[in-house]
Structure 1
Amino acid sequence: MAESVRIDTWVWGVRLAKTRSQATAACRAGHVRVNGVAAKAAHPVRLGDEVRVRLHGFDRIYRVAGLPVRRGSAAEAAKHFEDLTPPPPPRVERPAAVVRDRGAGRPTKRERREIDRLRGRDAQD
């Protein structure tokens, strides 16, 4: 078994990217970090390394638990990493949305101000 694997191969092998070229592009764009350092596609990753990947606008943190030789099933891929990502903060409840009758047309200036006030976009000039 190999002692290390290229980071783009690992990201692709554990199904964080659909294709190897997408994994390479993510590395090139600076979305992949190994142990806090931006990683190029050929950067070697070893067991126990911490990998941070920016996926869909969110940073995910993984610990390398295995080095996949090839891309396998999702169940097989899950054996090769440990997810260390903290849970997201609780969502803030927003006030109820303003409901307008269908076909009522555009809101009047007064209605627009009420909508903005409800949404917290109160213009204080």
Structure 2
Amino acid sequence: MRLDLLLVRLRFAKSRSVAQHWIEEAHMRCNGERVTRADLPVATGDVLTLPIGYTVRVIAIESLPARRGPAAEARSHYRELDRNA
């Protein structure tokens, strides 16, 4: 699954265009590597580092969502590894 689509389905971004812009800023990491391409394939087991506001969220993908569902459903697809304030 594409990274931009995953961010939308996990409810980190409101739309794919917002996700693509966020990825192109190059502050995001996937498995420790800086990400600059929205079409980067993401799989189960990958670790994403996401700068959100003034915090950094590190999540591990446990399963790939089939749709953009409610927030509780979206949270069931990833596990929070660390949260820095």
User: In the alignment, is the contact (CA less than 8 A) between 2:49 and 2:56 conserved in 1?
Assistant: yes
1:65 aligned partner, one-letter code? E
Give distance in 2, aligned partners of 1:22 and 1:42: 14
Give distance in 2, aligned partners of 1:75 and 1:10: 15
SS in 1 for 2:20: helix
2:4 aligned partner, one-letter code? D
Give distance in 2, aligned partners of 1:31 and 1:15: 18
User: In the alignment, is the contact (CA less than 8 A) between 2:55 and 2:83 conserved in 1?
Assistant: no
Residue by residue over 1:61-111, the C-alpha shift from the partner in whole angstroms, topping out at 9 and shown as x without a partner, is 0000111122111111011110112454xxxxxxxxxxxxxxxxxxxxxxx
SS in 2 for 1:61: strand
CA RMSD of aligned residues (A): 1.2
Return the TM-score normalized by structure 1. Answer: 0.63
2:7 aligned partner, one-letter code? V
Return the TM-score normalized by structure 2. Answer: 0.90
Larger radius of gyration: 1
Question: Of the candidates 54, 64, 67, which is equivalent to residue 70 of structure 1?
Answer: 67
Q: Percent identity?
A: 35
Which of 1 and 2 has higher RCO (CA within 8 Å, sep 6+)?
2
Structure with greater strand percent:
2
- Pairs aligned (count): 84
Q: Which residue in the other structure is 2:46 paired with?
A: 49
| Structure 2 unpaired stretches of 5+ | none
Question: How many Å apart are 1:26 and its aligned residue?
Answer: 0.9
